[in-house]
Amino acid sequence: MDTIIDAFFNIDIMRQATPLLLKGAWVTLQLCAVVILLGLFGGLGLALLASSGSAALRLPAFVFIDIFRAIPPLILLILIYAGLPFVGVRVPPFVAVCIAFLLNNSAYFAEIFRSGIKAIPKGQMEAARATGLSPAQAQTWVILPQAIRNVLPDLLSNVVEIVKLTSIASVVSLSELLYSANMARAVTYNSSPLVMAAGLYLLLLWPLVRVISRFQRGLSISH
Amino acid sequence: MTAAQPLPTLEITALEKRFGETQVLRSIDLNVRNGELVFVIGPSGSGKSTMLRCCNRLEEPTSGAIHVSGKPMLGIPRKELDRMRLQVGMVFQGFFLYPHLTALKNVTLAQRKALKRPRAEAEARALEMLDKVGLKHKADAMPSELSGGQQQRVAIARALALDPKVMLFDEPTSALDPELVGSVLKVMRDLREGGMTMIVVSHEMQFAREAADRVVFMDGGVIVEEGPPEEIFGNPKSDRLKAFLSRVSGEAA
Amino acid sequence: MDFFNAFLNPEIIARYLPALIRAVWVTLWISVLVVISGLALGALLAGLRAYQKRWLSWPIVLFADLMRALPPLVLMLVLFFGLPSVGIILADWFVLYLILTLVLAAFVEEIFWATMTSLPRGQWEAGAATGLSFLQVLLHVIFPQSLRMNIPPLVNRSLTISKMTAYGSVIGVKEIVSVAGSAQAFSGSATPLTMAALAYLIIFYPAMLLSRYIENRFHYEH
Ligand SMILES: Nc1ncnc2c1ncn2[C@@H]1O[C@H](COP(=O)(O)OP(=O)(O)OP(=O)(O)O)[C@@H](O)[C@H]1O
Ligand SMILES: [Mg+2]
């Protein structure tokens, strides 16, 4: 029992690591803010393309979405960070992460928006067009608001996924939360900083996970 | 109970049911003889469904006793309850066929799993029951391919296949389009001819007049009045029943 | 051309193809193991939770919450670096397998639970009224329906988690990313990284199309 506490919950080491980890957490938060916004806008744009009437717009959008859902974000990130210098482009870790996340998150957000748009009955579009709105206006003011409301739980789930995903930025030495914790672990030969990082992620994400479960709650089971 | 009287098939004694603060059933006594059709009427919220659901303990009674062919439904172990429920068939307003199974499989499932009948026997029995409700030709159809009336008849077959001692019907035709009601009522009439013991909660007063042995009027969680259909409909005694009947016939007109 | 030399150098492709193919197998079999055990464990947990016994539900909900809120990479590092110091040494691939299985199980449990509780009450009652035991209703009535309604999210979640096998590179599992990474370091070329990305495309692009097909196909009506 003592060895477990010493290996995972060592208070002294956690105290030492606190400043570093808080700094890391702050980087993680900033990173999240940037990549989530990028992903939302990228995804919305892609979704509109993928839901458009013209196949010339739709097809490339679908191919983009499927390609970047198929490639793990980690290899995408490494390819951008370690690959681009070979053609003379050097990108700082933060930018590399932003690019990789933009590609990956846009694809995932696009799928969510698209399914929301698809689920709106055709009659809505027809009704809007009948009142003299252009297709773009109808899409913006009638379809999208309903679609977004319907997929809010999925959007929230995806936000949680993205926050967790930012931990892969540690692989390209961006000093976010996991990177900082892993540094502290290497220096102290003790896993407590990792456990502490886990605690910080929990602090941030547990409430969101609870909210998501609430969304999904149905009736009760009868015995 | 004296030896001369035959055992009631279903015996409800001093049944009470509370949901939290609200008392939904107060001291219900009702005996149903073998082969009898008891028809239950009453305003919405009077506790008709709750009474039926207490009979097979989909609702847990607060107090009282329920016996099926003399055997208790309450205070028995879980396993025994599952066995007792086989003796009480139930038909719901919403059918509740299993949407992932064919009509035939809907009827064989409990035979196989609860009664442990061999497959061949269960299927033979299921086909016989589907035939009885006029749907043998739909044995392989999925519920989504059946009309509401057909689904309800399959649901009746599902219950019948388990050889229940008594069948409970909770507004079996209320969810149906008017033109489909007749087919379900016909099945129920056939059942009655065949000697099945039944409790029917329904608004089909015409059916009650023709087929019921006894009509029970519930209001506010109590049985206010009961008697043969001609008495209840032709010569109601309590004011509440009179009011109810005039309201119902008003709606019908 | 510079670009091709850097990212798609034929000589380097030829040199590292065999190693990469071996890595693809590692990725594939770990993924398959994860999906099978994750689905099974998740379904089991949802089934147990249906009994609505507090002492069972509580730990299950806690488990599902933790596994959904914590980044899998963090969990892996905690296990990989932490366990040896309490005398437990697990193979790198097993740590990867274990964590991904637990994470998938958590999501699967939540997916099943959400539909099990939103099926009409009458489905449970119809089963009970025909004398089926609770377990029988669960197995023969509720579970098959939940499964059918949930095929798209289950497939999607399984694919997402399968792609997380890439995290194995961080703890030294010889899967695609780690093999490509060391090949890149040895060869001084980005080509192995491109090969890795293409390998994932070859595996998962068809899977994405399949999941699209399934999504359109399994619009399950009630
Ligand atoms: N699970 C429950 N929890 C709380 N109250 C309930 C529950 N089920 C039923 N009730 C209440 O019990 C009363 C009787 O309901 P019940 O469904 O038995 O009436 P009913 O006679 O079948 O009505 P209807 O003709 O509308 O079907 C109603 O006031 C209802 O609100
Ligand atoms: Mg009712």
- Mean pLDDT to the nearest integer, C78-99: 92
Ligand nearest to the CA of B21: 1
Q: Which residue has the higher pLDDT, B5 or C29?
A: C29
Regions of chain B short of the pLDDT cut 50: 1, 253
Instruction: Give the position, in ligand 1's atom list, of the atom nearest the Cα of B46.
Output: 21
Question: In the prediction, which pLDDT does C219 show?
Answer: 58
Q: Which amino acid is at C47?
A: G
- Mean pLDDT to the nearest integer, C124-146: 94
Distance from CA of A204 to the nearest CA of C (A): 8
B10-248 folds as: Rossmann fold (3.40.50)
pLDDT digits (tens, 9 = 90+) for C100-117: 999 999 999 999 999 898
Tell me the C-alpha distance between B82 and B84, whole Å: 6
Question: In the prediction, which pLDDT does B253 show?
Answer: 47
Tell the residue number behind the tokens 């437990």, with chain if given.
C88
Question: In the prediction, which pLDDT does C200 show?
Answer: 96
Alpha carbon separation from A8 to C83, C84, C97, C168 (Å, rounded) = 9, 11, 21, 22
CA torsion through residues C203, C209, C211, C213, sign? negative
Cβ-based contacts of B85 with chain C (< 8 Å): 128-131
Mutation target among C51, C58, C86, C210 for the A interface, most CBs of A within 10 A: C86
Question: In the prediction, which pLDDT does C1 show?
Answer: 58
What is the pTM assigned to this prediction?
0.87
Name which of B58, B88, B98 is nearest C141 (Cβ-Cβ): B98
Q: Whose CA is nearest to atom 12 of ligand 1?
A: B24
The domain covering A18-222 belongs, at the CATH homologous superfamily level, to MetI-like (1.10.3720.10)
Quickly count: other Cβ atoms within 10 Å of residue B221's Cβ.
Answer: 23
Q: CA dihedral defined by B37, B38, B41, B46, rounded to 10 degrees?
A: -140
Nearest chain A Cα to C125, which residue?
A: A222
Token pair listed for B99: 């949407």
- Mean pLDDT to the nearest integer, C13-26: 94
Q: Measured in angstroms, how far is the CA atom of residue B63 from the centroid of ligand 2?
A: 20
C114: enclosing H helix or E strand:
helix C92-118
Cβ-based contacts of A97 with chain C (< 8 Å): none
Cβ-based contacts of C222 with chain A (< 8 Å): none
Domains and CATH numbers, chain C: 2-217 (1.10.3720.10)
Question: In the prediction, which pLDDT does C221 show?
Answer: 42
Residue ranges per domain, chain A? 18-222
Burial code of B116-130, b = ≥16 C-beta within 10 A, e = fewer? ebeeeebbebbbebb
pLDDT band at C2 (very low <50, low <70, confident <90, very high): confident
Ligand nearest to the CA of B45: 1
Q: Whose CA is nearest to atom 16 of ligand 1?
A: B47
pLDDT digits (tens, 9 = 90+) for C41-68: 999 999 999 999 999 999 999 999 999 9
Ligand 1: does its nearest atom lie under 6 Å from the Cβ of B221?
Answer: no
pLDDT band at C163 (very low <50, low <70, confident <90, very high): very high
Question: In the prediction, which pLDDT does B150 show?
Answer: 96
Token pair listed for A71: 């490639």
Question: In the prediction, which pLDDT does A218 show?
Answer: 53
Residue ranges per domain, chain B? 10-248
- Mean pLDDT to the nearest integer, C191-195: 94
Ligand 1: does its nearest atom lie under 6 Å from the Cβ of B50?
Answer: yes
Report the neighbours of C using a cutoff of 3 or more CB pairs below 8 angstroms.
A, B
Check whether C222 has a pLDDT greater than 60.
no
Question: In the prediction, which pLDDT does A217 show?
Answer: 63
Question: In the prediction, which pLDDT does A54 show?
Answer: 87
Q: Which amino acid is at A21?
A: L
Going by C-beta distance under 8 Å and a sequence separation of 6 or more, which residues neighbour residue A206?
A: C65, C69
Cβ-based contacts of C119 with chain A (< 8 Å): 218
pLDDT digits (tens, 9 = 90+) for B82-127: 999 999 999 999 999 999 999 999 999 999 999 999 999 999 999 9
Alpha carbon separation from B162 to B165, B166, C51, C52, C135 (Å, rounded) = 9, 11, 26, 29, 19
Interface of C with B (CB under 8 A): 120, 122-123, 125-134, 136, 140-141, 144-145, 148, 221-222
The pLDDT averaged over each successive group of 10 residues in chain A (223 residues) is 85 93 96 97 95 90 95 95 88 95 97 92 82 80 89 94 96 93 93 95 95 72 53
Q: Closest by alpha carbon to B224, among B43, B49, B61, B31? A: B43
Instruction: Give the position, in ligand 1's atom list, of the atom nearest the Cα of B201.
Output: 22
Give yes or no for A91 touching C (CB within 8 A): no
Helix C176-187 / helix C10-50 crossing angle, nearest 10 deg: 160
Cβ contact B152:B107 at 8 Å: no
Q: Closest by alpha carbon to B159, among B188, B186, B118, B201? A: B188
- Mean pLDDT to the nearest integer, C26-46: 97
